């Protein structure tokens, strides 16, 4: 056999092998995609069935009505011990399944987005008060999401799109919001103590009455951001540009950590005051 034909045959064989590997990979990825979609749909179905079969929304409505009437002196709504135990156990089941599926979708931001939107639309967060403590919503699209009063302590929201989201009165202590887009979001009266907001976009964000004590706000993008009544004690403002923010007096900034910080134009503080403490060379 001539050498040229042998080379051609080898090349064709390699080409065919490469194509076979590509087809196999595509089929495997398609199968994995179908499996993930089945898992997600199964999660939705099981939670929907739990809500309907156990009549959870009706029970929690009775519980809330009882609390209101107790404080208002009106005739009490009867909530049995059995109802309360059923509600508590069901919420624990929902929490366990939710955290489990979020771990499974760790690198699947689209499906994590679907999970949180389902929880919001089914009133599982707002009415059942489902705790999302420690949940992984990194890189999820939560644009405009209503998470008012949600328990997101130690949750991972790094890189998430939270533009226009409502997180008023939410519990976000020790949460990871690094590099998240928080533009025009509402954090009024939220607890963000010890939270990591480093590198986040805080343009037009409101933190009225929020607790940002010990929070990491280093290298944040701050533009027309409102801090009226916010607590900033020991917050890390390394590299933050605060020139266009509102309600940041020297008194409020006195207890923060400053290093290479762009301060409001009328500030008399040293923008590099705490570089040594933060381990940054001036």
What tens digit of pLDDT does each residue of 171-203 get? Answer: 999 999 999 999 999 999 999 999 999 999 999
The pLDDT, as a whole number, for residue 27 is: 78
- The rounded distance, in Å, linking the Cα atoms of 115 and 105 is 10
Element (H, E) at 56: helix 56-72
Q: Which DSSP symbol is given to 269?
A: S
The pLDDT, as a whole number, for residue 76 is: 57
The pLDDT, as a whole number, for residue 229 is: 95
What angle (nearest 5°) sits at the alpha carbon of residue 49, between those of residues 47 and 54? 100
What angle (nearest 5°) sits at the alpha carbon of residue 23, between those of residues 19 and 24? 115
Cα–chain-centroid distance for residue 71?
Answer: 34
List the structure tokens of 179.
């590099």
Q: Using 70 as the pLDDT threshold, list the residues of the chain that sit under it.
A: 1-3, 5, 64-79, 282
Task: Single out the residue of 135, 134, 172 nearest to residue 150, CA to CA.
Answer: 172
The pLDDT, as a whole number, for residue 66 is: 65
Encode pLDDT of 49-67 as tens digits.
Answer: 988 887 887 787 777 666 6
Q: Which DSSP symbol is given to 241?
A: E
């Amino acid at each position: 056999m001539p050498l040229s034909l042998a080379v051609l045959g080898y090349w064709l064989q390699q080409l065919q092998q490469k194509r076979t590997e590509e087809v196999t990979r595509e089929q495997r990825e398609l199968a994995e995609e179908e499996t993930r979609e089945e898992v997600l749909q199964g999660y939705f179905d099981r939670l929907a069935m739990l809500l309907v079969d156990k009549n959870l929304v009706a029970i929690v409505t009775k519980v809330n009505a009882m609390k209101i009437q107790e404080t208002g002196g009106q005739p009490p709504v009867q909530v049995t011990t059995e109802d309360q135990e059923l509600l508590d156990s069901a919420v624990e089941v929902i929490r366990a399944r939710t955290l489990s599926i979020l771990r499974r979708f760790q690198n699947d931001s689209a499906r994590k987005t679907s999970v949180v939107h389902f929880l919001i639309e089914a009133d599982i967060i707002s009415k059942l008060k489902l705790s999302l403590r420690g949940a992984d919503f990194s890189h999820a699209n939560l644009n405009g999401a209503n998470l008012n009063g949600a328990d997101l302590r130690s949750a991972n929201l790094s890189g998430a799109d939270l533009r226009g989201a409502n997180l008023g009165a939410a519990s976000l202590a020790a949460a990871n919001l690094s590099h998240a887009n928080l533009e025009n979001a509402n954090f009024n009266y939220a607890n963000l103590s010890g939270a990591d907001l480093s590198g986040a976009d805080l343009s037009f964000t409101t933190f009225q009455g929020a607790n940002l004590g010990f929070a990491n706000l280093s290298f944040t993008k701050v533009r027309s951001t409102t801090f009226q009544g916010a607590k900033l004690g020991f917050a890390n403002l390394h590299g933050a540009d605060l020139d266009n923010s509102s309600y940041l007096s020297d008194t409020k900034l006195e207890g923060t950590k400053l290093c290479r910080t762009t301060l409001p134009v009328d500030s008399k503080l040293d923008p590099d005051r705490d570089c040594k403490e933060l381990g940054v060379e001036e």
